[in-house]
Structure 1
Amino acid sequence: MKPIGLILATLLLFVLAACTSEQDAVSEPEAKPEAKNTTTEAAAPASEVSSDIPKEVQKPIKIAAIMQASLGTFSSQYIQGVEDQVEKFGGSVQVYNADNDLAKMATHLETAINQEVDGILIDHGRADALEPGVKRAVEKGIPVVVFDSDINVPGVTVIDQDDYSLAWDTLKTLAQDLNGEGEIVYVWVGGFAPMERRNAIYEAFQERYPNIKEIAKFGTASANTALDTQTQMEAILKQYPNKGDIDAVFAPWDEFAKGATRAIEQAGREEIKVYGIDMSDEDLQMMQKENSPWVSSAATDPAEVGRVQVRFVYQKIAGEETPEIFSLDPHLVKQSDLPEETISMDALGKYVDDWGSSEAATSPWMEKLTEQETK
């Protein structure tokens, strides 16, 4: 009996040992996944943000913004939009102002190329001066986005404010207010792509409304465009001193509109109405002034123009497809739609539908890039 008992006891010990080992083998893996999951959850936010952003734009991007001229408040708010968008994306921007010298502008472009920036923005300028440099930039793999220029190079995106619509919206309003008949002054200067496009619509307008007569035409672009326009408009008012001699002024640039408005106000000739193009904080204040002759202006948000241009160049850097041509939708800002209290451009969207809310050139990763830079 003893041997049998011994055998049974030995077998029992083996069974207990196997059970204990089996429990250890089962309980060990349960603890390990718990620790692994905790670690993964803690690291997830950082990895998710970076993995959704194209690697090409995860480094600080260097942008060169080359301007034909920085004239007036439109230009300053445009640059503000460029700088704001680049900063939100964690990049840096160097602004070059050519002071309306196309040769100097071409030199700035060459400088930017030689510095091997990541992207180039061009504001105005003409193809005959800039296309060789733009082609060189593209050949070197530097993305280029152009605003308001006649440059036409494959792979380069050219954006504009839809100058044809801007001019027509303003001129149509002028014609309706005059009931298709009257005498007007035209303030204009050539040599700028947007001005040439706006003038093409003005010429069509003259054919469409033959009873609206142009009695005077002038204009210069300088460092003091608004002041020069004011002086020239004062001379026109002396030439046509009687009420009814002039019904309206078409000023397809806000610097022209500011100068014409001040001359009319100082002469006490508020019966003459001003119809402009472009908009800024200063323009809004002038339009909202009591009895202001400036009654309407077709415009896009200059800061939004700058932001859209930056977003396009970031899309190019990220390797995304972008259009060759893109026009931002303009809006008609009418004095009668504005509130009594003075407002700034930031509040204009409350009174003008869709103002400053363009979703153009947006990619899903841009929001994540902005969030990452904010953190």
Structure 2
Amino acid sequence: MIVNRNYIFVEKQEETILKKWGKSSILLLIAAFMLVVSACGSKPADNTPPASNAGKENSAGAENSDLAKLKGKKIALIMQFNQGTFSAQYIDGVKEQAAKFGGEVQVFASENDLGKMVANLDSAINQGFDAILTDHGEAAALEPGIKRAVEKNIPVVAFDADVNVPGVTVVSQDDQKMAEVTLEQLAQDAGGQGSIVKIWVAGFAPMERRQIAYKAFQEKYPDLKEISAFGNANNPQLDAQQQMEAVLTQYPKKGEITAVWAAWDEFAKGASRAIQAAGRDEIKVYGIDMSDEDLQIIQDPATPWVASAAVDPKDIGRVQVRYAYQKLHGDTTDDKVVLPPTYVKREDLPKQPEKVNTTDLHKFVEGWGASKQGWVDWMEELEKIAAK
């Protein structure tokens, strides 16, 4: 009964309201009520920054934290030999780039002793260096140690050794190209005929690659006859000088030797000294590789060394370090990295007494130095962090 009374009461109330306001007014009230409900149910304005921007900020902070961890890394440079100014400038390039990244380099010189080089590699692994660079050496001798380093998660970047170990980056100069351009210039200057001396040594990956180009050259220019070939990696400059002196004695008349092709700058320096001392200014020398000392010899019109193909030795060191740091950063790196050479001839250089060095050679020879190979954008930030 209570329910019925309420119902009757509500019904009477509705009638009273309808009489007082009218049906149209009631409909307006209902519409207003629905509008308020709709507004209350809508979502509030979102003033939160877009998720993508927040993600970028977090990502940048994490990246800076990761880069800061790369500061203070210890790098081992294991060298088969470190004779001559080329090697000295190569070491400078390694140390320079590592220092800019906040790293330290320790050089292990092996004095052209493969056994000692292997021992130095083992020592670097046992001492827990953060990354290892190798310079020259033979793959068969180095690969067991390099594999052990990789197993211990020590990044390895090799230079001028045909190492084939998964995860290892091998940097090399374009040796065949260097040989091709120097031999082609020799042939053009000699008119495609004459007698030549080759100074070369077997057993080194870059030398073997240069020999491939030399064989092709012999087939292309059969009228350029090889009358002597020699070369020794032990004390190469002095040995080349002494052996060239013997060849000059064997062929004492001018015109009997047209040119010398030297597959290493140390050979070219030794041969040039012997030729100049003998007064055989008709003989020209064409070489491979370049250093400040080499450049000054080529620039001097009194010397027989007239041209060389090379990669800036400092750039080689810099590039090798960059790939090591890519590995330390967790980047995916190339297995093989080939550095293109530059051809430098006397005619390109200013006349003396102005002296040119490899630092400012780019002013006279296009393409020399300042290679960006191996450079990644984050390295700029790493250099800033390391400089603090």
TM-score normalised by the chain length of structure 1: 0.85
Query: For this pair of structures, how many residues does the alignment match?
Result: 328
Match status 1:128 vs 2:140: yes
Q: What code does the residue aligned with 2:350 have?
A: P
Residue from 130, 139, 145 that aligns with 2:157: 145
SS of equivalent residue, structure 1 residue 158: strand
Match status 1:202 vs 2:214: yes
Quick one: structure 1 residues 49 and 182, their matched pair in 2 at CA, closer, same or farther if it must change by over 3 Å?
farther
SS of equivalent residue, structure 1 residue 186: strand
Shift of 1:59: 3.4
Cα-Cα RMSD: 1.5
* Cα contact 2:102–2:386 (8 A) shared by 1: yes
* Cα contact 2:68–2:382 (8 A) shared by 1: no
- Within 1, Cα distance between the matches of 2:366 and 2:243? 35
Kindly report which structure 2 residues correspond to 1:1-375, keeping only aligned pairs within 5 A, or say none: 51-52=63-64, 54-55=66-67, 57-222=69-234, 224-340=235-351, 341-375=354-388
SS of equivalent residue, structure 2 residue 286: strand
* Cα contact 1:186–1:249 (8 A) shared by 2: yes
Shift of 1:372: 2.3
* Greater Cα radius of gyration, structure 1 or 2: 2
- Within 2, Cα distance between the matches of 1:50 and 1:241? 71
- Within 1, Cα distance between the matches of 2:134 and 2:302? 39
- Within 1, Cα distance between the matches of 2:136 and 2:154? 19
Shift of 1:374: 2.2
SS of equivalent residue, structure 1 residue 363: coil
Shift of 1:180: 1.1
- Within 1, Cα distance between the matches of 2:230 and 2:276? 19
Structure 1 alignment gaps of length 5 or more = 1-46
- Within 1, Cα distance between the matches of 2:64 and 2:272? 51
Shift of 1:48: 6.8
- Within 2, Cα distance between the matches of 1:278 and 1:49? 43
SS of equivalent residue, structure 1 residue 176: helix
CA deviation digits over 1:163-189, x for unaligned, max 9?
A: 111111111111111121111000111
- Within 1, Cα distance between the matches of 2:273 and 2:357? 20
Q: What code does the residue aligned with 2:275 have?
A: I
- Within 1, Cα distance between the matches of 2:330 and 2:387? 24
TM-score normalised by the chain length of structure 2: 0.82
* Cα contact 2:70–2:329 (8 A) shared by 1: no
Aligned-residue sequence identity (percent) comes to 58
SS of equivalent residue, structure 1 residue 345: coil
- Within 1, Cα distance between the matches of 2:62 and 2:108? 32
- Within 1, Cα distance between the matches of 2:175 and 2:94? 20
* Cα contact 1:125–1:149 (8 A) shared by 2: yes
Quick one: structure 1 residues 56 and 148, their matched pair in 2 at CA, closer, same or farther if it must change by over 3 Å?
farther
- Within 1, Cα distance between the matches of 2:258 and 2:186? 10
Q: What code does the residue aligned with 1:263 have?
A: A
- Within 2, Cα distance between the matches of 1:156 and 1:259? 35
- Within 2, Cα distance between the matches of 1:59 and 1:349? 31
SS of equivalent residue, structure 1 residue 346: coil
Equivalent position of 1:37 in the other structure: none
CA deviation digits over 1:245-264, x for unaligned, max 9?
A: 00000001000000111111
Shift of 1:58: 3.3
Shift of 1:284: 0.7
Shift of 1:197: 1.0
- Within 1, Cα distance between the matches of 2:369 and 2:65? 25
Structure 2 alignment gaps of length 5 or more = 1-58
* Cα contact 1:56–1:318 (8 A) shared by 2: no
SS of equivalent residue, structure 2 residue 228: strand
Q: What code does the residue aligned with 1:318 have?
A: H
- Within 1, Cα distance between the matches of 2:248 and 2:62? 62
* Cα contact 2:70–2:328 (8 A) shared by 1: no
- Within 2, Cα distance between the matches of 1:90 and 1:69? 26
